[in-house]
A and B are shown apart, each in its own frame.
Chain A
Amino acid sequence: MAEREELEVASVGYRLAHWLNLILFLALLITGLVLLEIEVFSFIIYPLGAPVATLLGLDPGTGYVTAGVQIARLIHRLAGPLWGFIIVVYVSYLLVSGKLEILRVLRKPVGQQLREAVALLNHYLLGRELPGDVKKGLDRHNILATYLTLLLALGVLLVGLSGIAMVYLNLTPSQHRLMLLLHDIGFYLTVIFLIGHVFAVFHPSNVVLLKAMFGDGKVPLSWAREHMSAYVERVLSRR
């Protein structure tokens, strides 16, 4: 009976992919910040560089930074392709198996999407109740999550392609600086996604989802009926 009261919203594969995304994204974010602006973020690499510089007998005045940034750069260049590979494999799997739920809401007319987006923003930011029709039409992922994901996809595409070009291609200086610019733009877009994502998952309305993602992947059915009713109906009708 208790099993019927829960609904799986994140499969094992989904959670595993999320964990890998989280670890690799954080690694890329931290090391990328160091490479982006050393004057602001040099404090990050001292714990990384100090032991290595000491081990190599480098001058503490400059060696900590040099060793730290070199390690950060190495991690960045290893984590980047690995993250890209995982994303390509996972997205390909979702596309082939028809499980790319996050894009489903884009089938709705644009006017309806925007109305839902405004209603959701009012709900999240001002605590207003969702209109009945919006509530009824909520799917596994709401329209704001989908828009954020599209932003992430664009960001990942930019950092991915420019990163590959910078590491693996023999670029001219002007090509290299263009790739650096695109890499930065892609990075800022992914950070905007991250801020939106963190806000959404830590919001009191959605914290159940956060627990599911880092727990057994299941949410109470009553909560699901409230927050993703269209999805629940679809899943239950399949059973």
Chain B
Amino acid sequence: MQQAKPSKTLLRAGAAMIDVTPPAGTHLGGTWGTLRRAETLADRLYARALVVEQGGRTLCYVTADLEIVTERWATLIRREIQTRCGIPVADCMVSLPQIHSVPPLGNFLLGDEMPNVPPEHEYLRGSQTPYCELAAAAMIEAAVQAFQKLEPVEMAHGRALRDDLAFNRRGIRRDGTVCMPWLFSSQETPLGPTDILCLEGPMDPEVGVVTFTNQAHQIVACLLHYTCHPVNVFARTAHVLSADWPGAWSSGVQAAVGAQCVPLVVNGCCGNINPWPSFDPDFHPDHRRMGRELTKTTRAILKTLKPVPVEGISAGVRILQMPLKVAAAEDRRAAEAMLEAFPQPKWQEKNPKQVEWEWMDAALLISVEQEREKSPDYSYEIQVFKIGPVALIGLPGEPFVEGQLAIKSDSPAALNLVAHCANSYAGYIAPRAAYARGGHEIRDKPAQWAKVAPGGLERLVAATTELLKELP
């Protein structure tokens, strides 16, 4: 495919979206040890892509209303986009918003090389290859279509604050340990969750919006940034397929500015952020309400936007070698013994569709141990796009929001859109202080979602801000 003749100052953008709604029965991510079949449909899912070009440099941002992307599938998508559009892998970012009521893109729980999972139960590894192939093809096609639609645009950006839609989800108990606050009723818990002393950390109230408007004064693409686990639907029901708040926000923005606009949600570092308040009784998580509120704020931002000059675009990648956690010898021995005794999944007697927790726990640990034996370090790819005054930052896994806030505070960019779950899955990455308290995100035993050793967040913040400052 030929690129148009580059202009040094002309900014061009193209965007596209393609339906990737899976068929009934497809496994949904967010839980483990059982097949969580999609039974009913709340929202259709889309692959979405934005391509931006200036002076011959072309950057591509690809996303989809899916959960998590593994390195295998991100690399496949990036390479194919390079082949078909000529955009280098380093200039293509694949990031998913981590919606928990949709399928993931790749086996993020158990490594593909583990022999313990029969093909018919592939979902125990995290995903199902046939759907991954379908979704990846759609994401590639969306990027190609976006590339083909490149047209002159003006860019504008703005921000607002909403601290009432996302909440820190690590409650410090009176004994110093950490729990994840859940929904509660005032009737059953009239005094509130009295075992919780306070919340561990902050949230990021920033709503960031970047628009690309063509010469016909139509917004052709809109990057939408907020930071929260998309788990409104997941918290209430297991088998509904929904794009949660990213989908609701996207639909709202599209309804507001026109169907020609491709909304692309950039979900930030929400490793410790949930969409419900910890201490409010009778709270009902509602992805449509959240989407409506974010749309309302977006409309307020849109009213204030003015085009800004884009004097250059750039991109950079930095690879950090992050040490993996080492399993305690006793835990490893126990896990090996379990898998030796039960080389195939051990199903619960009372619920034969659910793998025994102990078996899954052992498999999760061995999966990380096998990865660590290949390499003691996780190759963590930090990717930064700079489009004039706006930075788009891709970080693998689920860093805690403290990392994002530190990056934003030190960044030279006027607006920073941080995309978590970018290009591979590294699990949670928490500040050092949080490791001492434990909790779901920091369990003692390694698992794919809790495999990076302490110190990772501090290092990725330093490396990211360095990269942001280096890029022109």
Q: Do A and B bind each other?
A: no
B binding-site residues for A, Cβ under 8 Å = none
